[in-house]
Structure 1
Amino acid sequence: MPQKHDRTPSDDRDMADHVVEQWRAERPDLDPSPFLVIGRMHRVANALTAELVSIYAEFGLGEGEFDVLATLRRQGSDFALTPSDLSEQTVVTSGAVTKRVDRLVARGYVERRPSGTDGRSRLVALTPAGRKLIDRAFTAHMANEARLLEALSPTERAGLERGLRVLAQSLGV
């Protein structure tokens, strides 16, 4: 039985190929081939987001809430972050962090603690319930990500990792 990564040229065509063919016919003066990468990445990113969000929802979490819990959890046990640190690490505004943290506090998954060094500052930390939830959710998330990459051979996956790293660095992300 063929593996998912075994392909023949006849079954490889997709919407990006069709779009590029159309542009080549309509605008032979331009090279539309970047769309073969950018267009596919955009479509894949949208599809991946839907697949990832569905797992978060199984745990009653939105994407932003999952991100905050995961960011806190990967810091280590009993570690807390300032809202500014959370904003920097989750790459969202401080207002978005505040809303996410408020929702998680209301649900008992995180708590705000006074800072030991600055009486005006607060730290955000996981509660035991938050830690338990993110450990379960992250386990499911990793299994989901592995499932989503099953179509790639190990060689294809390694090449994609390298290429995306180079592209991300060139874009400063």
Structure 2
Amino acid sequence: MNAQAESGGTPQSIFAVLLTQENGDHLLLPNVAVLEVGNIYHAPAGAEPARWLRGTVDHDGIAVPALDLEQLNAGGSSEARRARPVFVQTYGRLLQHPVIALLCRGHPHLVDVEPTALTPEPLGSRDRDDLVLSRVRLGNTVAMIPDLHTIEAELARAGVAAR
């Protein structure tokens, strides 16, 4: 029996986390994917060829890759900035330690997402269609839903903790 049938025909809401990235784009992730939020991190500039890879951050005694997802998605600046690492659980199919740190501004916001409150939006002109599953409008905010499989594949291609 599906969740809609169990609730009397009304789709159930889910808890999600809304993150603001370094240059102002927003991410929407399921709450269960976000493990914790780290302290301010002075992210070094990315180096060629993976300018989106911004060093590593400690998570439970393990160095995990810190990513500038905006840089990975659409290019742009990779200058050093102060950011907050948000530790996200990945699928672990291509990484030895299935945790990454997405560099964000401020603190994540827990949101109760009603399926009827999400409006599909077109991908941005610079969005990678293999990396961005969808863009949605939640209230006044347009957010990207990233593909964690593609992020893992990019990290493996960059030689980061590949199995």
**Bin for the TM-score computed over the shorter chain:** under 0.3
Question: Which of 1 and 2 has greater Rg?
Answer: 1
Q: Which has the higher strand share?
A: 2
TM-score (norm 1): 0.21
TM-score by length of 2: 0.22
Structure with bigger helix share is 1
Q: Which has the higher contact order (CA 8 A, sep 6+)?
A: 2
